[in-house]
Amino acid sequence: MDGIARTTPLIVVGVDGSNSSLAAFEFAKEYAHGLHGRLRAVSAWTYPITYNPLPVSWSPEEEAESQLRQASKDVFGDTLPTWYESAVREGSAANNLLDESREADVLIVGSRGHGGFTGLLLGSVSSQCAAHSRCPVIVIHSADNNPTGSDEAGQTPLLESARDRPLVVGHDGSANADDALEWALNTAARLGASVEVVRTWNLDRIPPQFTEEHGYVPSFDEVTARVHRDLVAETRSLIDKYPTVEVTLRAALSQPAAELISSSKHALMVVVGSRGRGGFAGLILGSVSSECVARAHRPVVVVPSASHKES
């Protein structure tokens, strides 16, 4: 028996009416359908801080409810499926979605909402969710996904893509990278997708076993081959738990974020751990995961470490 979890997953998506959140909602619908899961769309409202008087008849709660009803209709049409529910919460969007992440299996957000500065690649809500969520977060850019419904065979666009596009996983040997790989393998098994595992090395951080010794300096190809052998050895036990998933392992001389962003062009999703080996231990979101979330061409999944899920 493989490692697929047999429970019904709960997918939560944040909706604020922006193009990015609508793209996230569309993706969430296809993702929940593909995993035979439940989908919950969440909108949040607060009273705006303003020096101008607000109309007496205006209600931010009613506006949020109306906006979510319209978004639900745009995504599902007039008939909502039984596996879908919606909720309008008072308070900040980030805080409400982070509260949802305690129960959810996956949290899906758009990269940019209505607020903030349009020149930024990543919004404050998506940044906070990627950094602090208790469950894996999928960040969607508005151009990432534009489903148009099922084809004649009844396959959804996500499932169609899953046949041709792998889940690309960055693996640097850390425990959090193992968390990301296991999530990717489990999801690929459910969707019928393949997995591509990538490990990079570069001249700034040559693996310690390749320091000059006895006057011999290995070639770049020799270092890459050794990095690949290490990757195979360190991931074998996890991969063996999912015998139905086709897995490719690849080593490259490159910067990790640049390689994953380039690989995202042919990926179904890019999957990274929230923290790798590098950087500063006090940071919650690592530089590689931050760059991928902001710049990848396809949806990016940030998988929190096991310790963060339990904290």
Please provide residue 305's backbone torsions phi and psi, each rounded to the nearest 5 degrees.
-70, 160
| Alpha-carbon Rg for the chain in angstroms | 21
pLDDT value for 6: 55
Residue position matching structure tokens 């959140």: 21
How much is the pLDDT for 117?
Answer: 36
What are 229's two structure tokens?
A: 């052998």
Provide the pLDDT for residue 124: 81
Structure tokens at 166: 């792998």
pLDDT score of 215: 57
> What residues contact residue 311 under an 8 Å CB cut-off, 6+ apart?
none
Q: What is the pLDDT of residue 281?
A: 39
Query: In the chain, which stretches have pLDDT less than 70?
Result: 1-6, 47-58, 112-123, 142-156, 205, 207-216, 276-285, 307-311
Q: Token pair for residue 72?
A: 């639900």
Identity of the residue numbered 147: P
pLDDT at 157: 74
Per-residue burial over 105-129, b if 16 or more Cβ lie within 10 Å, else e, is: bbbbbbbbbeeeeeeeebbbbbbbb
> Do 46 and 66 form a contact (C-beta atoms < 8 A)?
no
Helix (H, G, I), strand (E, B) or coil at 195: strand
* Distances 188 to 159, 179, 191, 244 between C-alpha atoms, Å: 11, 14, 5, 9
- Written as six digits, the tokens of 207 are 């693996």
DSSP code string of 28-75 = HHHHHHHTT-EEEEEEEE-----SSPPPTT--HHHHHHHHHHHHHHHH
Phi, psi dihedrals of residue 11, rounded to the nearest 5°: -110, 130
Residue whose C-alpha is closest to residue 27's, from 304, 301, 260: 301
Q: Identify the bridge partners of residue 168 per DSSP, sorted by sequence position.
A: 196, 270
**What helix, strand, coil percent values describe the chain, rounded to 5?**
40, 20, 40
Q: What is the pTM of this model?
A: 0.86
